[in-house]
Amino acid sequence: MEEAELVEYFRAQIREDPDVASAVAAIRSLLEFLKRDQSETILGLRENMTKAIHRLEETDSSVAVSSGGELFLRFISLTSLEHPVGSAFHKLMAQKLCNLNIPVTVVLDAAVGYIMEKVDLVIVGAEGVVESGGVINKIGTYQMAVCSKAHNKPFYVVAESFKFVRLYPLNQQDVPDRFKYKADILKTVKDLNQEHPMIDYTPPSLITLLFTDLGVLTPSAVSDELIKLYL
């Protein structure tokens, strides 16, 4: 499978299912790449897969693609990722909730602090879960967590274990630029200070619990699960 075919296959996954997580689309693409690969040795296969993962990272610089690709490389036989995950909360999500007769109110990002005193708890997704138990997610997640803490509201994260990534950022600046900005921006823009990041980092101190396919975890338990995954 040529690199151009791999990229097109990845983009087709996104086009056909706008709600699919980029990590899931990447793993599906790598599975297709694996089917067509003609390597005769494990070393050759690993080298080809590594190149394929790097090519996908150049196409989509989200942390989910990086962590998903890394885990796929580690567990090459993983094939049970057929269930799409939810996208960020926006008007399309609101419409889907309404269709299920679930009461929903869409608020401005700037109104999070105003509305927080009325909510019982906060649930967010994650593009990546780092070693400390903190999460990397769509921009605005951090400010939501800060507001939750200020109002003593539980802040829960829902994420699959394939999004666990071996990173240990201490603050927003520690998150690699390749996760903060789109790949095309990194190639063309010299001064990233003029660009708006796509994601932010929420530290573990602001997270109550993480709900994962491995069970309900405290942030401090994430590092133990990463050790199990990569040993």
CATH of the domain at 178: 3.40.50.10470
pLDDT at 89: 43
Q: Rounded to 5 degrees, what angle do the CA atoms 80, 52, 231 make?
A: 55
pLDDT at 80: 35
Going by pLDDT thresholds of 50, 70 and 90, the confidence category of residue 218 is very high
Q: Which domain, by its residues, includes 137?
A: 91-230
Residue 198 falls inside a structural domain:
yes
List the alpha helices (DSSP H) in 151-193.
177-180, 183-188
Report helix, strand or coil for 156.
strand
Give the mean pLDDT of the chain. 83
d(Cα 204, Cα 225) in Å, to the nearest integer? Answer: 15
Shared domain check, 106 and 69: no
Q: Which residue has better confidence, 88 or 23?
A: 23
Domain boundary pick from 43, 74, 105 = 74
d(Cα 205, Cα 220) in Å, to the nearest integer? Answer: 10
Q: Which domain CATH number covers 20? A: 1.20.120.1070
Residue 83 falls inside a structural domain:
no
Shared domain check, 119 and 54: no
Shared domain check, 69 and 34: yes
Residue 82 falls inside a structural domain:
no
Shared domain check, 65 and 118: no
Residue 79 falls inside a structural domain:
no
Shared domain check, 214 and 129: yes
Residue 99 falls inside a structural domain:
yes
Phi, psi of 100 (to 5 degrees): -95, 10
Shared domain check, 168 and 59: no
d(Cα 7, Cα 44) in Å, to the nearest integer? Answer: 20
Written as six digits, the tokens of 89 are: 């909360």
Written as six digits, the tokens of 74 are: 């580690």
- The total of structural domains in the chain comes to 2
pTM (predicted TM-score)? 0.64
What CA–CA distances, in Å, run from 176 to 7, 18, 167, 171, 181? 22, 25, 9, 11, 9
Residues 6+ apart with CB under 8 A from 230: 74, 166
Shared domain check, 108 and 162: yes
Shared domain check, 111 and 56: no
165-195 pLDDT, tens digit per residue, is 889 999 999 988 888 887 777 777 777 776 7
pLDDT at 222: 92
What CA–CA distances, in Å, run from 95 to 124, 125, 166, 192? 18, 18, 36, 35
Shared domain check, 95 and 69: no
> Does 47 have pLDDT greater than 70?
yes
Written as six digits, the tokens of 28 are: 């599906």
Beta pairing, strands 135-138 & 199-202:
antiparallel
Domain boundary pick from 46, 74, 102 = 74
> Identity (one letter) of the amino acid at 206?
L
Residue 193 falls inside a structural domain:
yes
